[in-house]
Structures are given as structure tokens and as C-alpha cells.
Amino acid sequence: MLLLNPGPVTLSERVRKSLLQTDLCHREPEFFDLQDEARTRLLATYALDPEVWSAVLMTGSGTAAVESMIAGLVPEGGRLLIIENGVYGERIAQIARQYRIDHEVVKYEWMQAPDVDAIIGKLDGFSHVAIIHHETTTGRLNQIDRLSAACKERGIGLLLDGVSSFGAEPIDFDGGGIAAVAATANKCLHGVPGAAFVIVRRDALARAASRTYYLDISRLAKLQDARNTPFTPSVHAYYALVEALREFEDEGGLIARHAHYLALADQVGSGLAALGIEGALPDGESSVVLRAYRLPAGVSYPVLHDALKAQGFVIYAGQGGLSNELFRISTMGALRSTDIDRLIQAIARVLR
């Protein structure tokens, strides 16, 4: 079965086998070696300076990392501007409400790109801005560089949900105002679910609030810097994350992964176009990680999904109100061009 949903991903055999390593107590030095390697390799993914940046690991899914980032990095008395153009932006607004963080939401339709100039015009009075990098709801890659530069000019911290872009899309960590990026092991890095992380500027950690217990980012960072951990981590997910990061490096790192995803996504797009299926967003606005397509006339999502699943492919529905119009194909995970050929042939059979 090949997974074409946006994580968990189809694993490589190398990562799958890494789950079968020796049992490990999380209070032994071997575990801290593993934790150190994961943290070092996460920073190396974007060639980040460990004096400036810290990779803070936690046990949980991507939402745990996003929650830890939002609840921790907007200091007491801070004010957060949230940019929303999909489900994951809405989730950040919900997190801010739940922690009673002073915030305002700028909302766009799910199919719309945020209006960066209008947002920049609103920045005064905010200490932080939160935005989704790749809004997986529609496959849109939100353009963050001008916003990030404007944040830097004003001393505002940009909090980025990079859950479905980290490891595959370029992120300019040092050029703009990024204070932190939240992400997870089981998407573009090709690990398994259970390990998530926030890449955070050390100076932002120094000003962090302590609104949450389990996800308290500054405590996690402090203990991990001291080769320690407050709780029982998902040891096996860490094994897989480290192996996935070694594999990532061996395969050529970020540039190679981006190029690989781009080639697969373009192959899906042209294969579907030949069958009369159109992309949902204009060309050039989607990520390389996932793209949304319009359901062909007369074919409902459940019919398409079930017929493809019977042939060994799991595709993904449109979210919420988009479920009757769209379906999504992610090309993250251990997938090859021959897999995409087979997928297109399978879709052609369904349409026939």
C-alpha cells in the first residue's frame, strides 16, 4: 500500500528497520546520544548555527509542536497576529484562544493567498505573527519572505507552522524575522509519527512564557541541552527520526528532497491533466509536497478513493467544505517516479 496522504508517509526499508533496534531506557547515556544526534541533525537540515538556534524535541504529533511554540513563545503581555487561510491557521487561532493569548486573526478564504501588503500594514502593536508555511488544506505554499523581512524590521517574532514543509521547502531562517518553526518527524523528513520538534532562536527561548506543563518549550530546551528529558519520550520514533535524517543527508539533503518532490508533483500534475483532471490552485502557487485537484465530473471522492485503495494507493480527501470538490495527492515519503506512473494508470482505469 502506498500512502499519498500528507503523512504518515510510506517508509523506506532503512527507516522501517531502524524501529527494531535494541530496547533503550531513556535515562541511559545511549538515549541522550540519540537525542543529541536528532537535535544536531535537525539543525543541519537547514545549516543552522547551534549557538543561535535550538532544536527542541517532544513526543507528540505536529500539533504538539505548534502548540508548544504558540503557548511558549508569545511572552506574557505579548500580542499575536494570526494569518488564517485553511484548517491549520484556524487551529493556531484555537490554540491562542485556549491559552488566552491576546491575539487577532486575519482570515482569508481557504482557496485564497494571504494579502501580504495588507498584513504588513497591520503589524504595529504585535509582538508576534503566526502563519502556516505550507497550508496543507489546499496545498498552497504561503509566501512568507516579505512578511518575515517586515517582522524583522519591526522586531516582531515570526512563528511558522512548518509541519508539512520542513525538510522539503526552502525556509530563510536567518534572513528575516523567524523566531521559530514547528514541525514533525513523519512528513517531509520521512520518520514515523510520535516525534515532533520546534526549531527556535535561543534568544526567543530566553523570553518564553510558561503557559503549558507538558509542552513547556523552555523547560524542554533547557533539559535537552543538559542531556536530560522531563518525561518518557517515544524512543522508537526517535530511532526512526535519526535514521530518516541520516538517509536525508545521504540522499543529498534539502535541495535534493525539494527537487525529488517537485519532479513527482509535476509528474502527478501532468498525468492527471492528460486525463482531464485540473489542479485546484493556479500554477506556481502550490508546494512541492502536496497538491489539490478537482474531482472529475461524475466521480465522487469515496468512489475514487475506494477504487484506488483496492489497487494499493491511499489518496486524501479535500478538507471540510472542499471534500465534494477536491482530492489531494501528497508525494512525500519513499516514493519513486515508477510509483506515480502506476498511480496515473490506476486513476485512468477508474475513470474508464
Ligand X SMILES: Cc1ncc(COP(=O)(O)O)c(C=O)c1O
Judged by the rule CB under 6 A, the positions of this chain that interact with ligand X are 6, 61-63, 66, 88, 132, 134, 136, 161, 163-164, 184
Shortest reach from residue 183's CB to ligand X, in Å:
9
- Residue with smaller CB distance to ligand X, 217 or 344: 217
Dist CA 84 CA 343 (whole Å): 32
- Cβ closest to ligand X, residue 35 vs residue 63: 63
3-state helix, strand, coil in the chain (%, to 5): 40, 20, 40
Kindly tell me which of 3 and 344 has the beta carbon lying closer to ligand X.
3
Report the nearest approach of ligand X to the CB of residue 315 (Å): 15
Closest CB 9 distance from ligand X, rounded Å: 11
How far apart are the C-alpha atoms of 17 and 13, rounded to whole Å? 6
CB 257, min distance to ligand X, A = 17
Instruction: Give whichever of 5 and 224 is closer to ligand X, judged by the CB atom.
Output: 5
CB-wise, 59 or 63, nearer to ligand X? 63
Q: Are strands 316-317 and 313-314 parallel, antiparallel or unpaired?
A: unpaired
Which residue, among 295, 315, 294, 319, has the nearest Cα to 306 in the 3D structure? Answer: 315
Fill in the DSSP letter of residue 82: E
Nearest-approach distance from CB 230 to ligand X, in angstroms = 20
Question: Nearest-CB residue to ligand X?
Answer: 62
Burial track 48-61 (b if 16+ CB lie within 10 A, e otherwise): beeeebbbbbbbbb
237/344 with CB nearer ligand X: 237
Q: Which residue in the block uniquely carries the three cell numbers 540519540?
A: 34
Counting every residue, how long is the chain?
352
Q: Rank residues 88 and 110 by Cβ distance to ligand X and give the closer one.
A: 88
Dig out the grid coordinates for 263 from the structure: 519532479
Q: Nearer Cβ to ligand X, position 53 or 197?
A: 197
In whole angstroms, the minimum distance from the beta carbon of 61 to ligand X comes to: 3
Q: How far is the CB of 286 from ligand X (least distance, A)?
A: 14
Instruction: Indicate the pairing of strand 80-84 with strand 103-107.
Output: parallel
User: CA 53 to CA 161: how far, in whole Å?
Assistant: 16
Q: What is the 3-state secondary structure (H, E, C) of 102-140?
A: CEEEEECCCCCCCCHHHHHCCCCCCCEEEEECEECCCCE
CA 243 to chain centroid, in Å, comes to 19
Q: CB 7 → ligand X: shortest distance, Å?
A: 6
Question: Among the residues of the chain, which ranges form H helices?
Answer: 13-18, 29-45, 62-73, 87-98, 116-120, 145-154, 202-206, 217-225, 235-250, 253-274, 301-309, 337-351
Shortest Cβ distance from residue 53 to ligand X (Å)? 20
User: Residue 88 or 126: which CB sits closer to ligand X?
Assistant: 88
